[in-house]
Every structure is written in C-alpha cells, then in structure tokens.
Amino acid sequence: MTLPWPATFTVATPDDTSILVRREFGAPPARVWRAMTEPVHMKQWLGDPDFPLTTCEMDVRVGGRYRWVFGSGERTMGVSGTFDEVEPHSRLVTIEQFDDFPGPSTNTLLLSPAGDDRTAMTLTVVYPTREIRDGWVASGMTEGLGVGYERLDEVLGDELSAG
C-alpha cells in the first residue's frame, strides 16, 4: 500500500525503563481505535504473517481483561493483561504480561487527530527495570511493531476503500 504521506515510525528510550513509539495512520482516531481494540481487526494486523495472532480475546472496559496467543501447535507465545484506563478513541492503559518473558509492562496508548483524517499515535511501554526494557528492545519487539503497523495501514486502507 502506498501512503499519501511519508510514514513515520520512531522508537526512543527516553529514560531507563521506557520505550516510546510514535506512528501516524491514514484514518481518523475512531477507526484506528476500532482496529486496535476489536479482535476481528486485531487478527488482521497484529503479529507476523508466519506467526499469526490465533487467539484474541478482549473485554475493552476498565477492569476488563485480554488474552492473545500467537502461533500454533508447539510454537506459541501468549500474553495476558488488564485494561486499567479506557477512553474510547483517545487513550488506553493496559498492564501486560507475556507468559514466558519478564515483565509486566504498563502500556499507554494515545491517539489524537493529526488533520486530514489522520491519527497520531504514541505508545509508551514502561518496564520494571532497565534490564527488562533492554531485553525487549534486543528481542526485536520494536521492529515487529513496525511491521505490524504497516499491516495496520493496509487494514485501515481496506476499510477506507470499503466505505
């Protein structure tokens, strides 16, 4: 998919325990919110095509829980969490714990209008220690997010084309 503007994707480590991710999407915040909070859409973009999101259960409300499982058979990776703050179309705060990796992390997703039916996204992931944060950075997590967000552009484009 060719975007009508240069795609931005930046990753920073602003302090000892955080990862800060910024990205713009070619759809208004309400549409990006749906793609990031509804399982039918999440399965289309989150994860790697060779290691897809196979289980996506989400109760998006304060106190609600989620469970994602990537892969199948003997090769899987699971993550569970809770929704601590939910402000539709603008803010989502979750506590996230991967089954077989250190954590947990606190994830704060912010969506805001960026003009011309675009959305600016900021994702801040805070880990308990610098060592855990650095392990996640070394794991390729941020590169994986970048690939997922490219796939999200396609999902948003398909929805835009479909009306």
Tens-binned pLDDT, residue by residue, of the chain (163 aa): 444 445 688 999 999 999 999 999 999 999 999 999 999 999 999 988 888 899 999 999 999 999 999 998 889 999 999 999 999 999 999 999 999 888 899 999 999 999 888 999 999 999 999 999 999 889 888 888 888 899 999 999 875 444 4
- Domain span holding position 59: 9-162
What's the confidence (pLDDT) of residue 158?
75
In a domain, 51, yes or no: yes
In a domain, 4, yes or no: no
In a domain, 2, yes or no: no
pTM, two decimals, is 0.90
CA 103 to chain centre: 17
Kindly provide the residue ranges of all beta strands, DSSP E only, lying in 6-130, ordered along the sequence. 9-12, 18-25, 47-48, 51-58, 65-72, 75-87, 91-98, 105-113, 119-126
CATH code of the domain containing 152: 3.30.530.20
In a domain, 77, yes or no: yes
Distance CA 141, CA 144 (A): 5
CB 122 within 8 A of CB 29: no
Q: Residue 163: what residue type? A: G
